[in-house]
Amino acid sequence: MLSFFSRIPSFHPESRLLIIWEALIVLVTLYNCFTIPFRIAFNATIYKNWFLLDNLADLILIIDIFLRFHISYTKEGELIKDKAEISIHYRKTDFKSNLIASLPLDIFVYLFLPQASLILMGLCRIPRLLRFPQCFLIFRKWDNNVYFNSGVVRMFELFIIVFLIDHWVACLWFFIGNLTGQSGESWLQGDNLHLENTTTQYLYSLYWSITTLTTVGYGDITPQNNIELIFTFMVMFLGVSLYAFVIGNVVAVISNLDASKNRFRDKLGQVQAYMWERKIPPSLQKNILDYYQYMWEYNRDVTLDFYFLDELPHSIKTRVYCYLYQELLEKVPIFQDAEPCFIEDLVIKLKPRILPPHDYVIREDQMGHEMYFVKRGQLQAFSEKTGKVYSLLVAGSFFGEIALLYDSRRTASVKTLTYCELFVLYKEDFDKVLNNYPQFSEKVKKIADQRHQVRE
Ligand code: CMP
């Protein structure tokens, strides 16, 4: 067995296998946290094959002790894989408590004292609870793992804490009742309910625990003596703190869940304050707010997306852009049979821009520094001098290429008719693409020449 463990390679602390194993450790620990106090308080077991399940749980915890000698850890940002160092680290940290937690005292009692009560068996298993704090370290690890939803992990953790506290208080309440000679029946005013079986006894205890901890306190189960009264006060105090803890955590999780919405609201708040301070005319304020409304409905927070993309390595960034611009790439006819390297080269150079209706994108006769691709919306190319409309530009169209191709002034004005989502390609990038990909250059020139002819 030992030689088998010595041949095991060291695990990365974030590996998937380890995450599954740690989930199993959490499950086993929660099983112990639930069954041990239950067994001690109610002198009962909730299932027939408890001995088998207990031993299976214990076996998992013992295997875990051996495995821990093979799990790398990070020290000052460096991953330590060396087995000797891992062993020293583990011995210094959780090893002793894990060893005590796995002491098989209950098996000795079972073998040598066959008449022993379930209470005694439960007491022998109390050291298993030493594993409980490690569950929170595992939760923290999941919380920091980018593949886990932090909100879900925190809510799960909160649920576990609240449920276990309710359960432990219920077990203690029944235990104190038994110690002080107040059996379950006398808790109930009127004495007309018979708590003859363990399930009912447990459910009533849990009911008392939850009503007291949540400060609801119906008063149908009341303390009957001084010890129970003192215990009830303590549970009430605990309940108030638990209540505040739960509310605080739920609020934090919910506000984090909708972080992008909150960021957007903050931004909108700043915009509104600015417009109010500068006394911007109401009609202009409406335009600005309509713009943000559109941004939110269709793009969420565009600026933030692009800020994080710039941090990514080139290859990943290109793949993300290809995915994000898929809709545009499918719509623009000149991109459709283009080589993949052209697309990859181009997408990274495109910059998104959102414009409101009736906005000039290009003014006739001005110098041109960029061209545009239309992802969504409608625009009009027309002459401001003659009023002649040349063309309606829709999703998949491009414009502004003539001034770039011929280093000339703009041949027409282009105005948005609706909200438009455009992608801008600046002259220096346009020139590079043109030089590197003659096929693209030919296609653009052909369309530019046709447009020239239409205008003449
Ligand atoms: P540019 O001259 O750089 O700026 C104005 C743009 O309007 C121009 O490039 C073309 O992209 C576009 N344009 C000009 N004439 C037409 C037309 N007849 N049909 C479609 N688009 C045009």
Dist CA 263 CA 445 (whole Å):
44
pLDDT averaged over every residue in the chain:
87
With CA atoms as reference, report the closest residue to 360 among 315, 410, 396. 410
399, burial (CB in 10 Å: exposed 0-12, middle 13-18, buried 19+): buried
With CA atoms as reference, report the closest residue to 60 among 106, 91, 89, 20. 20
Tokens of 390: 């040349």
Query: How many A from CA of 381 to the centre of ligand 1?
Result: 6
Contact (Cβ atoms closer than 8 angstroms) between residue 235 and residue 169: yes
What pLDDT score was predicted for residue 196? 65
Query: How many A from CA of 323 to the centre of ligand 1?
Result: 29
Q: Which of 362, 398, 452 to probe ligand 1 with, by most ligand atoms within 8 A of CB?
A: 362
pLDDT band at 291 (very low <50, low <70, confident <90, very high): confident
Dist CA 329 CA 327 (whole Å):
6
Mean pLDDT calculated for residue range 284-297: 83
Side chain identity, residue 29: T
Q: Which of 334, 391, 397 to probe ligand 1 with, by most ligand atoms within 8 A of CB?
A: 391
Please write the tens of the pLDDT for every residue from 65-82.
999 999 998 887 788 888
Residue 374 pairs with which residues in a beta bridge?
422
Please write the tens of the pLDDT for every residue from 8-33.
778 888 888 999 999 999 999 999 99
With a CB cutoff of 8 Å and minimum separation 6, the contacts of 200 are none
What pLDDT score was predicted for residue 183? 47
Sign of the torsion angle spanned by Cα atoms 21, 27, 31, 32: positive
Dist CA 93 CA 397 (whole Å):
64
Query: How many A from CA of 306 to the centre of ligand 1?
Result: 29
pLDDT band at 157 (very low <50, low <70, confident <90, very high): very high
pLDDT band at 455 (very low <50, low <70, confident <90, very high): low
Side chain identity, residue 110: Y
What pLDDT score was predicted for residue 143? 86
Side chain identity, residue 240: V
State whether residue 48 is helix, strand or coil.
coil
What pLDDT score was predicted for residue 170? 96
Minimum mean pLDDT range among 203-217, 300-314, 394-408: 300-314
Interface ipTM: 0.97
Give the residues surrounding ligand 1 with Cβ less than 6 Å away: 362, 368, 381, 390-391, 399-403, 410-412, 414, 451, 454-455
| Bridge pairing between strands 73-75 and 78-80 | antiparallel
Tokens of 158: 């909160």
Contact (Cβ atoms closer than 8 angstroms) between residue 385 and residue 424: no
* Residue 90 reports pLDDT greater than 80: yes
Going from the N-terminus, what domains does the chain have, and what CATH number goes with each?
1-145 (no CATH), 149-257 (1.10.287.70), 260-302 (1.10.287.630), 312-455 (2.60.120.10)
pLDDT band at 131 (very low <50, low <70, confident <90, very high): very high
C-alpha separations of 252 from 147, 246, 255 in Å: 20, 10, 5
